Amino acid sequence: MPNLSSQRQDPTLVAIGGAIRRIRKLRSLSQEKLALLAEVDPSYLGRVERGDNAPAILTLKKLADSLQVSMAELMADAGL
């Protein structure tokens, strides 16, 4: 289901999603594998990477842990 909220494609969400995608690719992980490791739905991960969904802080923590980076490193990669 598409997210029609006003937050969709917010520059901050796009930056975070881009950082997750870059790090995921550096780790040679597919979206499916990262989703499995982080215990999130693969389609949800795709929406996060596109900046269509705003992940909760605990979801970001699970993604960062699964990517083997700290939350600070993830935010720095996003330029935040």
Dihedral, CA atoms, 22, 25, 27, 30, nearest 10 degrees?
Answer: 130
* pLDDT at residue 45 in the model: 98
Terminus-to-terminus CA distance in the chain, angstroms?
Answer: 28
- pLDDT digit string (tens) for 5-50? 556 789 999 999 999 999 999 999 999 999 999 999 999 999 999 9
Q: Which structural domains are found in the chain, ordered by start?
A: 11-77 (1.10.260.40)
Enter the tokens of residue 46.
Answer: 């795709």
Tokens representing 70 are 């700290």
Instruction: Report the pLDDT value the prediction gives residue 7, as an integer from 0 to 100.
Output: 60
Closest residue by Cα to residue 16 from 62, 53, 65, 66: 53
CB count in 10 Å sphere of residue 26: 11
In 3D space, the residue among 80, 36, 43 whose CA is nearest the CA of residue 62 turns out to be 36
Query: Is residue 68's pLDDT more than 90?
Result: yes
For residue 2, pLDDT over 80 is answered with no
Global pTM value = 0.89
Say whether pLDDT at 56 is over 80. Answer: yes
